[in-house]
């Protein structure tokens, strides 16, 4: 680790391999992550252990974990500048997860709103992992002595729990964990479904969702069918209240071309939706083309991908091992003989 890296603040983020990334993921978040490596020492992992709280098809989980890693690299997360790995490849996550479990209170876990939400959705599989996974999430963060954790609104509780557990452990055993701060990432455009512009773009709505790995003809078809508005004027104007469909398409077009809403309104003045929707589709196709092609190239080269996630796991494990060794000593576990 060079001096520049050592001087940087550490940022950690885990991403569940739940399927292909879509345009909303890219424009809303991932596009901005590439630049963070200049300021932070970033650790990004595919959180496959967290995925096990829901029943998975084993072959599909393995495929998604590797495919999603390839897509993140294709989106600009340089593996030389970021530590990219698969969570289960670094066994220290599971080991510290158990220890953190023992310092996390039942009442704290009971108050997690995501447990309540996920229990309602998976009533036939309310397992122990679903209840305790915030403790594993805390271990994921504390393992790397993170200064910052990027959080959305739905993850604030988990960051607060991580801070509480870190402070509790430090109060008992002395300075062991860095207490992380939430990092509110720079958010790009909030991209809505092409079929229902009042809902966020989501993979659960495949017709209203543009995936990064979609073929150009599929992207073009989705944009041609995109919901606009039923008003009679049919003009391209940004009005999120009265014209949410057009406003969403304008947000997408602005994000991929860099044009302001005023410039877009001038460009399509008098042309109507028939010209506007295909133009947005074409702009998205050209934006996603290099990402899709690079991800496909990597996915065709299994040896390269294996080398990529192996090197990432080795880098992560080097740091994780130091933290775990310190924790073992503090709690009274016998030092590992090998």
Any catalytic annotation for residue 271? no
Q: What is the DSSP code (8-state) at residue 192?
A: B
Is the four-CA dihedral 91, 95, 100, 105 of positive or negative sign?
positive
Measure the CA–CA gap between 26 and 33, rounded to whole angstroms: 10
Measure the CA–CA gap between 161 and 89, rounded to whole angstroms: 25
Other CB atoms within 10 Å distance of the CB of residue 261: 15
Close Cβ partners of 258 (under 8 Å, ≥ 6 residues apart): none
Helices within the chain (DSSP H only): 3-7, 23-25, 31-33, 48-51, 58-74, 92-101, 106-110, 113-121, 128-142, 156-173, 216-224, 244-257, 261-267, 273-300, 302-331
Which listed residue (118, 259, 322, 326) is catalytic? 118
Any catalytic annotation for residue 200? yes
Which listed residue (8, 9, 203, 326) is catalytic? 203
CB 92 within 8 A of CB 314: no
Measure the CA–CA gap between 41 and 56, rounded to whole angstroms: 32
Which listed residue (8, 9, 178, 200) is catalytic? 200
| Residue 275 in tokens | 């010209």
Q: Residues with catalytic annotation?
A: 118, 200, 203
């Amino acid at each position: 680790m060079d001096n520049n890296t050592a001087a940087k603040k550490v940022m950690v983020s885990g991403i569940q391999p739940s399927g292909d990334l879509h345009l909303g993921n890219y424009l809303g978040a991932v596009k901005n992550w590439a630049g963070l490596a200049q300021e932070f020492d970033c650790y990004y992992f595919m959180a496959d252990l967290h995925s096990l709280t829901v029943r998975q098809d084993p072959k599909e989980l393995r495929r998604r974990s590797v495919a999603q890693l390839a897509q993140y690299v294709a989106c600009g997360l340089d593996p030389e500048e970021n530590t990219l790995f698969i969570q289960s490849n670094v066994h220290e996550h599971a080991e510290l997860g158990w220890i953190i479990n023992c310092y996390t209170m039942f009442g704290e876990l009971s108050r997690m709103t995501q447990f309540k939400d996920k229990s309602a959705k998976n009533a036939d599989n309310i397992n122990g992992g679903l209840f305790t996974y915030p403790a594993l999430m805390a271990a994921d963060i504390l393992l790397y002595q993170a200064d910052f954790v990027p959080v959305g609104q739905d993850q604030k509780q988990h960051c607060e729990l991580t801070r509480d557990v870190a402070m509790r452990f430090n109060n008992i055993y002395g300075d062991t964990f860095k207490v992380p701060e939430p990092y509110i990432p720079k958010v790009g455009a909030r991209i809505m479904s092409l079929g229902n512009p009042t809902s966020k773009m989501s993979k659960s709505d495949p017709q209203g969702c543009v995936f990064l790995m979609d073929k150009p003809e599929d992207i073009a078809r989705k944009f041609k069918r995109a919901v606009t508005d039923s008003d009679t004027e049919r003009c391209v104007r940004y009005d999120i209240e009265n014209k949410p469909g057009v406003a969403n398409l304008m947000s997408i077009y602005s994000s991929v071309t860099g044009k302001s809403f005023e410039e877009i309104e001038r460009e399509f003045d008098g042309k109507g939706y028939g010209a506007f929707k295909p133009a947005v589709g074409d702009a998205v196709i050209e934006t996603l083309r290099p990402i899709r092609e690079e991800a496909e190239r990597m996915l065709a080269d299994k040896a390269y991908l294996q080398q990529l996630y192996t090197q990432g796991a080795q880098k992560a494990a080097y740091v994780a091992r130091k933290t775990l060794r310190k924790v073992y000593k503090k709690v009274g576990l016998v030092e590992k003989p090998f």
